[in-house]
C-alpha cells in the first residue's frame, strides 16, 4: 500500500501518513458511496439534520486537537487554527437548520394547477478541497452535499490529508457506513474522481484546476460548483479612517500567511492619504511575529517550498520592474516569508494579475476614484473586494461599481450568515451558502397537477 506522508511546513517533520487511494480504485469508492446513498436519502431532511447535528459536540470536544493538527500540518498560527476548529462545532446546528429551510419544497398555484418544486438528492457528490482552510473547506462542500441527501466521496488536499481525514472521522462517527468516503491522493485522484460516475463535483481550489474540472465534467454534463482563486482589491478613499484601513489591510493581507482566497492582494490608495496609509500599514506589518504557529507567532510558514518560491519570485520581479519594498520582502528561513508591503505597483507586473497567495500587500497610488475603480476591476478574477471610506452614501456608490462577487464596505468582503459565498468572473462557477447556494447541491424537480 502506498502511503502519503504529510509534512509540517514549519519544521519539515513528518506529521503523519495516510494510505493513498490508487486512481483505479476511485470508482470503487464512488460505488460504495452510491450503495449507501438510498438509505441516507430516505431519512429525509429532518432525519439527516438530526444525525448531522450530533457531530457538533464531537467537533467542539476536539477543538484543541484539531487546531494543533491544522497548525502542524498546514502551518497557520494556533489562534487562527482554533477559530477554524471552533467554527465547525459552534456553527453546525444553525447551518443545518438553514439547509433544512432552503431545501423545503415550494408550491406555486396558478390557473387551477399546482406545481410543487422539490429539491431532491442528486446521488453522489465528489468533493475536492484545498489546503488553506484544511477543515472548513471540506465542511463547506460536504455538509450541504449531505444535507441535500447525497452521499459524498471527499478528496482532501494532498498537503493536508490528516486534517481532511480528521474532519471526516467526526462525521463518520454519526453517519451510516459509506455515506461519506475519503479518498486520499493528489491530482490523479482528483482527475479520476471527476471522470468517475459521480453526479456532481463540488470543488474549491485554483482557477486553473477549476477550468480543467469544468472541461472534464462536460463529457457527461456533471453538475459542478467551483469556488476559485482571487486577486482581491481594496480601495482606500481620502475620507477613510486611515488607521482602521491599515489595520484591515494588515489583517487581511497577512492572516494565514496570505494564503486566503479573499486575501487583500491589491490596494489602491488616494494620493492625498497614501504616505500616511503606507506608513501605518508598514508599521503594522513589521511588528508581526513570524514563526512556527505552535509558538504564538502571528504569521506562520508558507505551506510548501513551491509556494514560497512563487511568492519570492513575484516580489523580486516587481522590485526589478520598479516597485519599492516598504517592509519585508525576504525569505526568512525554510518556508517562511516576512510580511511584505510593496509600493509603486504597476499593472504590467506579474504581481498585479497573478494570484500571489502569500504575505504581500501591494500598494498603488491613484489620483481619482474613477482610476481606483478601473484599476480594481482590471482583473479576470472577481472573488472579494473592499472599500474603506467615510460613513456616507458615496463610499457605497464606489463599492457598487466593483465587479467582485462579495464586497465589503469598511469591513471584510464576506456577507453575514445566510448570504452566498460567491465569486464573480473567473473566481467561481455556481456558489454555496445561502438558500440558493444550498440548492445547488440538489436536483430541482417540478410536479404539477390540477387542483
Residues lying near ligand NAD in the complex (CB under 6 A): 128-132, 137, 155, 157-158, 186-187, 190-191, 194, 204-206, 209, 212-213, 227-230, 261, 355, 357, 383, 423, 428
Spatial contact of 110 and 449, defined as CB atoms under 8 Å apart: no
Residue 393 CB, nearest distance to ligand NAD (Å)? Answer: 30
Q: Which is nearer to ligand NAD, 155 or 223 (CB)?
A: 155
Q: Which is nearer to ligand NAD, 312 or 326 (CB)?
A: 312
Q: Which residues contact residue 391 at a Cβ distance below 8 angstroms, ignoring those fewer than 6 apart?
A: 410
Q: Which of 308, 374, 226, 298 is nearest to 79 (CA)?
A: 298
Enter the DSSP assignment of 432. Answer: B
Classify 402 as helix, strand or coil.
coil
Segment (H or E) for 63: helix 63-74
Active site residue 261: yes
Q: Which is nearer to ligand NAD, 45 or 128 (CB)?
A: 128
Return the bridge partners of 447, or none.
116
Surface-to-core class of residue 289, CB atoms within 10 Å of its CB (0-12 exposed, 13-18 middle, 19+ buried):
exposed
Report CA-CA distances (Å) from 143 to 96, 298, 349. Answer: 8, 30, 40
Residue 4 CB, nearest distance to ligand NAD (Å)? Answer: 11
Residue in 73, 98, 163, 261 annotated catalytic: 261
Residue 365 CB, nearest distance to ligand NAD (Å)? Answer: 26
Residue 383 CB, nearest distance to ligand NAD (Å)? Answer: 6
Classify 360 as helix, strand or coil.
strand
Q: Which is nearer to ligand NAD, 212 or 425 (CB)?
A: 212
Q: Which is nearer to ligand NAD, 356 or 395 (CB)?
A: 356
Residue in 80, 227, 355, 426 annotated catalytic: 227
Report CA-CA distances (Å) from 414 to 66, 263, 274, 323, 407. Answer: 24, 11, 26, 30, 7
Residue 68 CB, nearest distance to ligand NAD (Å)? Answer: 21
What's the residue count for the chain? 451
Residue 212 CB, nearest distance to ligand NAD (Å)? Answer: 4
Q: Which is nearer to ligand NAD, 261 or 326 (CB)?
A: 261
Q: Cell numbers of 441, please?
A: 447541491
Q: Which of 435, 429, 446 is nearest to 201 (CA)?
A: 429
Q: Cell numbers of 388, please?
A: 474603506
Residue 276 CB, nearest distance to ligand NAD (Å)? Answer: 30
Residue 83 CB, nearest distance to ligand NAD (Å)? Answer: 15
Spell out where 183-231 has E strands.
200-204, 223-227
Angle between helices 63-74 and 161-174 (to 10 degrees): 150
Question: Closest residue to ligand NAD, Cβ-based?
Answer: 190
Q: Which is nearer to ligand NAD, 227 or 292 (CB)?
A: 227
Active site residue 163: no
Q: Which is nearer to ligand NAD, 85 or 284 (CB)?
A: 85
Enter the DSSP assignment of 319. Answer: H
Spatial contact of 267 and 361, defined as CB atoms under 8 Å apart: yes
Summary count for the chain: helices (H), strands (E): 17, 18
3-state SS string over 243-275? HHHHHHHHHHHHHHHHCCCCCEEEEEEEHHHHH
Catalytic (active-site) positions:
227, 261
Amino acid at each position: 500500500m502506498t502511503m502519503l506522508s504529510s509534512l509540517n511546513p514549519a519544521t519539515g517533520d513528518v506529521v503523519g501518513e495516510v494510505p493513498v487511494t490508487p486512481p483505479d480504485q476511485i470508482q470503487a469508492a464512488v460505488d460504495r458511496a452510491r450503495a449507501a446513498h438510498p438509505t441516507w436519502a430516505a431519512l429525509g431532511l429532518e432525519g439527516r439534520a438530526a444525525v448531522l447535528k450530533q457531530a457538533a459536540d464531537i467537533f467542539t470536544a476536539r477543538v484543541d486537537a484539531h487546531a494543533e493538527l491544522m497548525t502542524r500540518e498546514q502551518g497557520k498560527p494556533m489562534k487562527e487554527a482554533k477559530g477554524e476548529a471552533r467554527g465547525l462545532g459552534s456553527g453546525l446546528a444553525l447551518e443545518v437548520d438553514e439547509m433544512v429551510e432552503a431545501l423545503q419544497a415550494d408550491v406555486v398555484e396558478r390557473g387551477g394547477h399546482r406545481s410543487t418544486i422539490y429539491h431532491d438528492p442528486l446521488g453522489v457528490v465528489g468533493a475536492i478541497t484545498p489546503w488553506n482552510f484544511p477543515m472548513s473547506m471540506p465542511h463547506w462542500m460536504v455538509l450541504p452535499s449531505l444535507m441535500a441527501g447525497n452521499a459524498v466521496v471527499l478528496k482532501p488536499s494532498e498537503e493536508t490529508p490528516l486534517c481532511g481525514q480528521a474532519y471526516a472521522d467526526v462525521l463518520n462517527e454519526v453517519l451510516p457506513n459509506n455515506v461519506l468516503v475519503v479518498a486520499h491522493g493528489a491530482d490523479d485522484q482528483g482527475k479520476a474522481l471527476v471522470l468517475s460516475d459521480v453526479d456532481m463535483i463540488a470543488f474549491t481550489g485554483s482557477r486553473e484546476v477549476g477550468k480543467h474540472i469544468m472541461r472534464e465534467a462536460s463529457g457527461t454534463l456533471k453538475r459542478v460548483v467551483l469556488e476559485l482563486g482571487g486577486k482581491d482589491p481594496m480601495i482606500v478613499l481620502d475620507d477613510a479612517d486611515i488607521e482602521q484601513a491599515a489595520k484591515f489591510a494588515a489583517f487581511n493581507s497577512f492572516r494565514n500567511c496570505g494564503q486566503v482566497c479573499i486575501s487583500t492582494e491589491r490596494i489602491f490608495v488616494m494620493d492625498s492619504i497614501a504616505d500616511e496609509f503606507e506608513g501605518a500599514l508598514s508599521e503594522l506589518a513589521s511588528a508581526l511575529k513570524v514563526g512556527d504557529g505552535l509558538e504564538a507567532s502571528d504569521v506562520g510558514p508558507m505551506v510548501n517550498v513551491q509556494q514560497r518560491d512563487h511568492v519570492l519570485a513575484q516580489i523580486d520581479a516587481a522590485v526589478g520592474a520598479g516597485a519599492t519594498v516598504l517592509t519585508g520582502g525576504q525569505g526568512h528561513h525554510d518556508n517562511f516569508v516576512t510580511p511584505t508591503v510593496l509600493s509603486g505597483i504597476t499593472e504590467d507586473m506579474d504581481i498585479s494579475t497573478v494570484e500571489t497567495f502569500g504575505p504581500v500587500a501591494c500598494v498603488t497610488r491613484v489620483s481619482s476614484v474613477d482610476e481606483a475603480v478601473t484599476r480594481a476591476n482590471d482583473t479576470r478574477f472577481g472573488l472579494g473586494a473592499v472599500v474603506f471610506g467615510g460613513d456616507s452614501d458615496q463610499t457605497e456608490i464606489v463599492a457598487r461599481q466593483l465587479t467582485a462577487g462579495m464586497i465589503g464596505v469598511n469591513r471584510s468582503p464576506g456577507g453575514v450568515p445566510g448570504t452566498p459565498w460567491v465569486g464573480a468572473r473567473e473566481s467561481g462557477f455556481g456558489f454555496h451558502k445561502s438558500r440558493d447556494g444550498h440548492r445547488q447541491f440538489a436536483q430541482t424537480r417540478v410536479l404539477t397537477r390540477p387542483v
